[in-house]
A and B are shown apart, each in its own frame.
Chain A
């Protein structure tokens, strides 16, 4: 794939510098057959530095996962070398099986086969809490 000109696929842009690998992991891009380009520390007028991910051949990704990570990310859908759609990201109310609870007292630490569920509890401060124990999800 030519990194500069994507014919058909998705460009995930304005990723906070340093967090592209998290997104790679959460979107499970490693499981895809298509080519993926990861650009770290690209120059950005607004952000200083940013990361970009380009995925060739794919037109559909889990926007909830991206909204959960960072609403400022932009997603452009490219076809025939042109942007055909700019996707708007919102913080999802619930995310399922994307991240897991780190509270050792939480039932999810011992009970197998249940979904890891986080709910948006404070949109203003982008706070998600475990649906079972209410512990806050800490990014790092």
Chain B
């Protein structure tokens, strides 16, 4: 039995096979409409998240399975003080696979230790979000045709941005990857990403404060939201806030074949005018997210692929 807790729980080869399966599902979704008949997915969301939960549920329903679960800690036994360990031991009796979102970092790992069914980390605090990364790399591979030899810019809150952490960890294993990390000084990547992933593995990276200075070098721009409360001082906020808002003026400095990704929800960090630019890929990304989660569920439930 396999769990997906950390992006490195999948080897590059496994990742490729997940992406290949997702591509086959994307090309022929109706073929897969019943491969998980009778199977149940539990979504244990201790923190509200409309997109990720609906994406998981849609994926399972598309495969013919059904879903159960809760969508906030208030609706669960967590308010009565039940531990994650106990909850998963109980849920293991009701479902065949579970996706867990929790505000505390490492909660999915605890769940995996006590679970009888595969556990998927659907986001833990400011730590990791491996299935968002599967979505991101499926989008990059589909639109750029490769996962290596790319200059990836990550912009915004890189300190608490779990989607950024998981994406860096995953892409760092491909050849010819270069990262440009664009954030205010307060919101730089955490040391476990800088030391363990980038420096130890000698991955080229650059840390800058302003998006407009580097956007012209990027093949992929990954935007995340910067919340005002995260800044330590008002002065930095006023000085830098516009640097983290993508508009057509900044897009005019970018390459013609750059793609823009965003884990969504967006607030104002991407101007609505950018949506019509062919380089905007964030809504496409949502669509890929369902297919890669279908592939993930099939793999973890060890459901055989349909012979074509």
Contact pick for B192, options A110, A112, A129, CB 8 Å: A129
B300 CB within 8 Å of chain A: no
B146 CB within 8 Å of chain A: no
User: CA separation between A82 and B84, bound complex, in Å?
Assistant: 52
Q: Please, which residues of chain A bring their CB within 8 A of the CB of B124?
A: 107
Q: Please, which residues of chain A bring their CB within 8 A of the CB of B3?
A: none
Contact A103-B83, Cβ < 8 Å, known A121-B196, A133-B125:
no
Tell me how far the C-beta of A80 lies from the nearest C-beta in chain B, rounded to whole angstroms. Answer: 46
Tell me how far the C-beta of B296 lies from the nearest C-beta in chain A, rounded to whole angstroms. Answer: 22
Tell me how far the C-beta of B243 lies from the nearest C-beta in chain A, rounded to whole angstroms. Answer: 27
User: CA separation between A46 and B302, bound complex, in Å?
Assistant: 60
Q: Is the CB of B191 within 8 A of A136?
A: yes
Tell me how far the C-beta of B242 lies from the nearest C-beta in chain A, rounded to whole angstroms. Answer: 29
- Chain A contact residues: helix, strand, loop or mixed: loop
Contact pick for A107, options B110, B195, B200, CB 8 Å: B110
A101-116 CB contacts (< 8 Å) to partner B: 103, 105-114
Give the interface size bracket for B toward A.
20 to 34
User: CA separation between A111 and B81, bound complex, in Å?
Assistant: 9
Tell me how far the C-beta of A133 lies from the nearest C-beta in chain B, rounded to whole angstroms. Answer: 4
User: CA separation between A121 and B103, bound complex, in Å?
Assistant: 24
Q: Is the CB of B192 within 8 A of A111?
A: no
Write out, one digit per residue, whether chain B residues 3-22 have a CB within 8 A of any chain A CB (1) or not (0). Answer: 00000000000000000000
Write out, one digit per residue, whether chain A residues 96-140 have a CB within 8 A of any chain B CB (1) or not (0). Answer: 000000010111111111100000011000010111111110000
Count of residues in A whose CB is under 8 Å from the partner chain? 22
Q: Please, which residues of chain A bring their CB within 8 A of the CB of B178?
A: none
User: CA separation between A121 and B85, bound complex, in Å?
Assistant: 26
Q: Is the CB of A108 within 8 A of B106?
A: yes
Tell me how far the C-beta of A96 lies from the nearest C-beta in chain B, rounded to whole angstroms. Answer: 13
B102 CB within 8 Å of chain A: yes
User: CA separation between A21 and B200, bound complex, in Å?
Assistant: 34
Tell me how far the C-beta of A126 lies from the nearest C-beta in chain B, rounded to whole angstroms. Answer: 13
Q: Is the CB of A107 within 8 A of B191?
A: no
B305 CB within 8 Å of chain A: no
Q: Is the CB of B104 within 8 A of A130?
A: no
Q: Please, which residues of chain A bring their CB within 8 A of the CB of B127?
A: 105, 133-134
Please, could you name 15 A-B residue pairs with CB atoms under 8 Å apart, sorted by A?
A105-B103, A107-B84, A107-B110, A111-B107, A114-B110, A122-B195, A122-B196, A122-B200, A127-B195, A131-B106, A132-B106, A132-B107, A133-B105, A134-B127, A136-B192
